[in-house]
Structure 1
Amino acid sequence: MRMVSIASGSSGNCIYIGSDKTHILVDAGISNKRIQQGLNDIGLKGGDVDGILITHEHSDHIKGLGVLARKYQVPIYATRETLDEIRSKSSLGDYDRELLHPVCPDVDFVVGDLTVKPFSIDHDAANPVAYRVQCGERSVAVATDMGHYDQYIIDHLRDLDALLLESNHDVRMLESGPYPYYLKRRILGDHGHLSNENAGRLLNCILHDRMKKILLGHLSKENNYAELAYETVRLEIDEGDCPYGAADFSITVAGRDQMSEIVNL
């Protein structure tokens, strides 16, 4: 099983997860050209993709969806409410609506030899979810666009081998930055985005001996930067209640314009 971030940031998101037999994308919020290049870089092509899991309908998660659907007839999975929003997006162009498959939070479904569990997150979208994907004994998850976390989120992120977790903003940068007040309130609210500090605090609740890789993702272009996210998350782990230190784990930041390393499990 392997996972790689093709792009992760406030301007576009697309994460590959796959096995030897099955290849899926979580979100398609970048251009088809960039998605193709990312797949090529790991020895795949668009026609190899067996499914696209959509977390929610915001453009930085679905921008390239229409082209992929038209070119490759790839099945698209999302909650029913998210699919209703996707159907209404004229910017995606024409594609076969039969490719849209509704899923329900906390109900597993299967794509090839991958078992997928969607779970609910709090974000200002129709019915957003994060995804946990399992193949054999290995499990990974992509969890972004969360205004906050609670015990339900913690329970769904336990016992992972690898995780891409939102570390969207630095609170002080956001509060003193150029965004209008209403947007700052939205991002900081319970249906907004996870801060660097809260990403580190969440990790304190789920770290364990078998965790091989943590990718910090969905960084804001205006209210964060990679070094700050990395150091803040590490500090929260080191000062937290868990028995581990940040140095016990491989933590890197997923870039918005370049691929992450390939996480092989």
Structure 2
Amino acid sequence: MITIQAFGSSSKGNCYRIKTSTNGDELLLDAGLPFKEIQRYCHFNFVHLCGVLVTHQHGDHCKAVQDLLKLGHRVYMLKDTAEAIYVSGYHKVVYITPRIQFSVGNFTILPFELEHDVPNVGFLISDGTEKLLYITDTYYCRYTFKGVNHIMVECNHSYEILNQRVDDGYLHEKRMERLIQSHFSLENVIKFLKSMDLTRCQDIRLLHLSDENSNAVIFKQSVEAATGKYVIVEQERSSL
């Protein structure tokens, strides 16, 4: 069984911890919070942390990477990402390649390409008993996945809210275009989820909601109605 804790899920910082009940191994999915905050959320205990997976180079996903590397933790990322954040010289950096599977502790991980304004990947993660899908900072996913138990997916904005804010003069059209071309909208998230076989899905977690261009209640209700699944909005940091 895989358990999930959200430490941060917004443009201010994204970081999640997953744990397998098989042997207690843990992974961090992105490390976009100050390292001291991650330490506190983990109660200063990294004994079971076997790796850190980084999706891309933006600071709200990789802020604590250097600190984690200095402590000797292996951090898995694209070569482009490592070079962009100036950590390619650290020997604990492990380069990953989209669609090439690798193992970390008790987890098997398949990275895959996503569509953002910089090189970016999502992860399909298995602990041998369950599968977890992690997708963030993309406007589209070209792949579908079978047998997934837990889905963690960005749901940043909705077209309806963006258009209304442009009409009201609160959002510039260029900014709206950038959001549409780099982040997952509610409408596209629903299309993506409906394209998948959700038979084994236990829960869907909506990540990285925009502070101004989203509505947590409406997003949760919309995804629940479209999928019939239990939906959690990871808008605030979880208390541990």
TM > 0.5: yes
* Alignment partner of 1:251 out of 227, 231, 235: 231
Cα displacement (A) at 1:207? 4.0
Q: Which runs of 5+ in 1 are unaligned?
A: 89-94, 238-244
CA distance in 1, matches of 2:173, 2:95: 36
The Cα offsets for residues 35-84 of structure 1, whole Å up to 9 and x where unpaired, read as 223223xxx723432211000001110112222222x2111111111111
CA distance in 2, matches of 1:65, 1:199: 28
1:240: which partner in 2? none
Cα displacement (A) at 1:101? 0.9
Q: Does 1:209 align with 2:199?
A: yes
1:22: which partner in 2? 25
CA distance in 2, matches of 1:39, 1:32: 11
Task: Spell out the pairing of 1:145-160 with structure 2 (5 A cutoff).
Answer: 145-150=137-142, 153-154=143-144, 157-160=145-148
Q: Does 1:223 align with 2:213?
A: yes
Please tell me the residue identity of whatever aligns with 2:161: M
Higher helix share: 1
2:85: which partner in 1? 86
The Cα offsets for residues 109-150 of structure 1, whole Å up to 9 and x where unpaired, read as 11111111100001011x210011111131101111111233
Cα displacement (A) at 1:6? 1.9
2:73: which partner in 1? 74
CA distance in 2, matches of 1:52, 1:200: 28
Aligned length: 233
1:131: which partner in 2? 123
- Percent identity over the alignment? 26
Distance 1:5 1:123, change over 3 A: same
Cα displacement (A) at 1:260? 7.9
The Cα offsets for residues 158-192 of structure 1, whole Å up to 9 and x where unpaired, read as 21010111111021222333333322111112xx1
Higher strand share: 2
The Cα offsets for residues 195-250 of structure 1, whole Å up to 9 and x where unpaired, read as 11211221112242221111111111121131121123234x1xxxxxxx52xx21
CA contact (8 A) 1:46 1:68 kept: no
CA distance in 2, matches of 1:179, 1:30: 27
Please tell me the residue identity of whatever aligns with 1:147: Y
CA distance in 1, matches of 2:83, 2:89: 14
TM-score scaled by structure 2? 0.89
Q: Which runs of 5+ in 2 are unaligned?
A: none
Root-mean-square deviation (CA), in Å? 2.1
Q: Does 1:169 align with 2:165?
A: no
2:224: which partner in 1? 234
Q: Which runs of 4+ in 1 moved over 4 A?
A: none
CA contact (8 A) 2:51 2:76 kept: yes
CA distance in 1, matches of 2:171, 2:37: 28
Higher relative contact order (CA 8 A, sep 6+): 1
